Amino acid sequence: MIKNEALEPVFSFASQNLPAQDWKQRYAGLIALGAIIEGPERDAFKKMVMPGLQGLIGMFTDSSLKVRESLTWVIGKICEHHADILINHSDDFTGFFVNQLCVSLQDKPKISQQVCQAIDRLSESTADLNSQECESNALTPYF
């Protein structure tokens, strides 16, 4: 478990680099963010990532292939460890997020493969594991 005070320098680094003109800086910011996703407490991660989540999702259209590849890796890790942040944010955001995933399925194979994994992780996290006959979940309206 990563201590909450250890998150601040990473989020500061990511926040400074994600909007940079140089793709290498954007890439470095995403790699730093992805490296800590599974460690922090849910509330601490949610508090720090929520303000920049819309911008992060907007990076699916980045001009750099490396940035889009690293973004899908980061999103996959968020879907695996903190899916509730993406699903329970708001209906508008969830629709925007799922739409971006679906559009990104048309990207290069490495990206579309990682998007498929993110959708799988997101689906698993929203499934009612106690019910074999579950007909819907939080993602149903979007698919």
- Domain layout of the chain by residue ranges: 4-127
**Each residue's pLDDT tens digit, 3-61:** 567 778 888 899 999 999 999 999 999 999 998 888 777 777 778 777 788 889 899 99
Q: What is the mean pLDDT of the chain?
A: 84
**Residue 59, pLDDT score:** 94
Give the pTM.
0.85
3-state SS of the chain? CCCHHHHHHHHHHHHHHCCCCCHHHHHHHHHHHHHCCCCCCHHHHHHHHHHHHHHHHHHHHCCCHHHHHHHHHHHHHHHHHHHHHHHCCCHHHHHHHHHHHHHHCCCCHHHHHHHHHHHHHHHHHHCCCCCCCCCCCCCHHHC
The CATH class for the domain spanning 4-127 reads mainly alpha
What average pLDDT does this structure show over 53-71?
A: 93
